[in-house]
Amino acid sequence: MPKNADLPPRAGAGFKPAHFEDILSANLENAWFEIHAENYMGAGGPFHRILERLREDFALSVHGVGLSIGAAGPLDKDHLERLKYLCHRYQPEAFSEHLAWSSHSSGFLNDLLPLPYTEETLDTVCSHILQVQDVLGRPMLLENPSSYLSFAESTIPETEFLSEITKRTGCGLLLDVNNVYVSATNLNFDPDDYLSAFPFDEVAEIHLAGHATEEIEGEDILLIDAHDRPVSDPVWALYETVIRRTGPLPTLIEWDTDIPDWSVLRQDMDRANTVLEKAHSYRETANVA
Amino acid sequence: MSLETLQNDFTLALLDPERDIPSGLVGSEQITAKRRFAVYRNNVVSSLVEALKTAFPVVAKIVGEEFFEAMAGIYVRNYPPSSPIMMLYGESFPDFLSGFGPVAELAYLPDVARFEQIRREVYHAADAEALPPDFLARVPEEKLANLVFTFHPASAVATFEYPALSLWEWNMAGDNGPAPDFPRQGEDVLFYREAAGTGARRLSPGGSLFLTELAQGNSFGAAAETATAVSEFDLSDTIAALLEARLVVAIT
């Protein structure tokens, strides 16, 4: 297991300030929360006060959405310094970012954009990850993307690409199971095949989220990684497959759009915890045998 | 194709729906690469439009959601964020509105946008410990004129040509019937940090000038003298504003 696996191997939730009071009064055991780093890069104000309070009671994961690790150009040094400050201030148990790009010389595009899997991209991503880890002074986790298209010039399968990155940089992986399902549907591959090639030994955190379905024509659909509803049943099934293989891992429920009441989010957390508890019993059974 | 060329082409095509998609993108027989690229096009524009809707709720309410989305779509394609910190994205939106023909008749709209932008800047500005509410009473009277104030970093004074605070308050209050008679003249507003976020208080004539003079490091006496040039300047009301807003973090 990578060094960056200090979150409790239980369900966590993407933190939304709207849930703050409910969370404080919910009597949660071993829960943890993840924040989007960029939302806490203001100099001060209520967001920081809330986060300081949350941090007193819970383990924390800082999840960047704007570093643009896959950009062809250099990383934004000011942004790296802001990340360093945030990690210094809140001492999170984990820091993660995406295998994607989102910035270009003409601006920040506010979306996680896809990369061709080539030797050039591999070199670029690895050198950026090494730089991040050097500045932050800790290993990071890298998340697999959700994809809507692929590139003719890609020569390396995604699982192999991720595996090679962990070897070259020492980073861990954040396995987003919903992203696997979304990409598999959109790009027409078997998610079980993908998972059987996934470097599970490097996974330190799981993401689960809901996706939307966009009808194209007739029966053709694209799945959109919308984070706007409960986790779907096929994604739960894949998640169980993963946890059987890996044992219990910190598992985040992400819900970023049409944010529901805390009690609704809590249902998906409870369901993840049920899977995680079963994983303990698989292991015990295996040990007895 | 180099990664840099690909990302250049990708970016240009994301922001311009008329432009050809980059070469080398793979679709399928059922769903073309162009249709797939449209998902990214939509994600980029709609997430930025959504960020502006959150940032400028009163502007959105005034022009209506559908109109706002179309107008914001034009803005985000032309002025994508320069930084990944979205909490302040839209700095130039008020200026954009000033030059946007279809809202020219809503002359007050840029002021409302500017009001909303200052409000969020103050919301996210640095924290500081304000002096106790009675600090001024403890200053000996003979020292008052030479006093220099340091203001809280989470504060701002703004002069609006239109009654931006009145318009904002009425729109935030919900659907409460026909519009009242808004003031005919502009408003000066003090923005300040309060527990829940940003407070806004109307300043009497000359108040904005007085507080701006103080913020620039002029002494209490000098600022008062400058502001007295404004005919209806109300020193006691302005001091009340300064105290109620817990505006002062240090005196020298």
Min Cα distance A211 → chain B (Å) is: 13
Residue B32 has pLDDT above 70, yes or no: yes
Question: So what's the pLDDT on residue B106?
Answer: 97
Higher pLDDT, B142 or A217: B142
Min Cα distance B29 → chain A (Å) is: 10
Question: So what's the pLDDT on residue A3?
Answer: 43
Question: So what's the pLDDT on residue B124?
Answer: 97
Domains of chain A, by residue range, sit at: 11-288
pLDDT digits (tens, 9 = 90+) for A20-35: 999 999 989 899 999 9
Contact B3 A44 (CB under 8 A): no
| Chain centre distance of CA B189 | 12
Q: How confident is the model at residue B175 (pLDDT cuts 50, 70, 90)?
A: confident
Question: So what's the pLDDT on residue A27?
Answer: 85
Residue B63 has pLDDT above 60, yes or no: yes
- Give the residue on A whose Cα is nearest the Cα of B1: A153
Strand partners, A196: none
Interface size, chain A vs chain B, as Cβ–Cβ contacts under 8 Å: 138
Q: How many Å apart are CA A256 and CA A248, to the nearest integer?
A: 24
pTM of the entire predicted model = 0.95
Q: Does domain A11-288 have CATH number 3.30.930.10?
A: no
Closest by Cα among B99, B1, B251 to A72: B1
Please, which residues 154-193 of chain B have a Cβ atom closer than 8 Å to chain A? 154, 193
Burial of residue A178, with CB atoms counted within 10 A of its CB: 0-12 exposed, 13-18 middle, 19 or more buried = buried
Question: So what's the pLDDT on residue A289?
Answer: 44
Residue to substitute from A36, A99, A110, interface B, most B β-carbons within 10 A: A110
Residue B95 has pLDDT above 80, yes or no: yes
Residue B146 has pLDDT above 60, yes or no: yes
The ipTM, to two decimals, is 0.94
Q: Does B137 touch chain A (CB under 8 A)?
A: no
Q: How far is CA B215 from CA B155, B163, B165, B251, in A?
A: 10, 23, 21, 12
Give contacts of A148 with chain B, Cβ < 8 Å: 36-37, 39-40
Pairing of strands B197-203, B187-194: antiparallel
**Contacts of A133 by beta carbon, 8 Å cutoff, 6+ apart:** A139, A140, A169, A170, A171
Mean pLDDT value across residues B205-209: 93
Low-confidence ranges of chain A (pLDDT < 50): 1-4, 289
Question: So what's the pLDDT on residue B153?
Answer: 98
Please, which residues 73-102 of chain A have a Cβ atom closer than 8 Å to chain B? 73, 76, 79, 82, 101-102
**With the C-alpha atoms ordered A139, A144, A149, A155, is the resulting torsion angle positive or negative?**
positive
Question: So what's the pLDDT on residue A2?
Answer: 43
Please say whether the beta carbons of A108 and B81 come within 8 A. yes
- Give the residue on A whose Cα is nearest the Cα of B10: A113
Question: So what's the pLDDT on residue B176?
Answer: 67
Pairing of strands A94-98, A59-63: parallel
What's the mean per-residue pLDDT of chain A? 95
Higher pLDDT, A5 or B209: B209
Min Cα distance B250 → chain A (Å) is: 18
Q: How many Å apart are CA B48 and CA B69, to the nearest integer?
A: 10
Question: So what's the pLDDT on residue A283?
Answer: 63
Residue B113 has pLDDT above 60, yes or no: yes
Q: Which of A71, A108, A116 sits opposite B80 (nearest CB)?
A: A108
**Extended strands (E) in B112-154:** 149-151
Edge to edge, what strands does the sheet with B155-160 contain? B155-160, B187-194, B197-203
Burial of residue B189, with CB atoms counted within 10 A of its CB: 0-12 exposed, 13-18 middle, 19 or more buried = buried
Question: So what's the pLDDT on residue A208?
Answer: 98
Q: Which of B4, B24, B193 sits opposite A72 (nearest CB)?
A: B4
**Extended strands (E) in chain A:** 11-14, 32-36, 59-63, 94-98, 101-104, 107-113, 141-143, 150-151, 172-176, 203-209, 212-217, 220-224, 251-254
Strand partners, B225: none
Question: So what's the pLDDT on residue A287?
Answer: 54
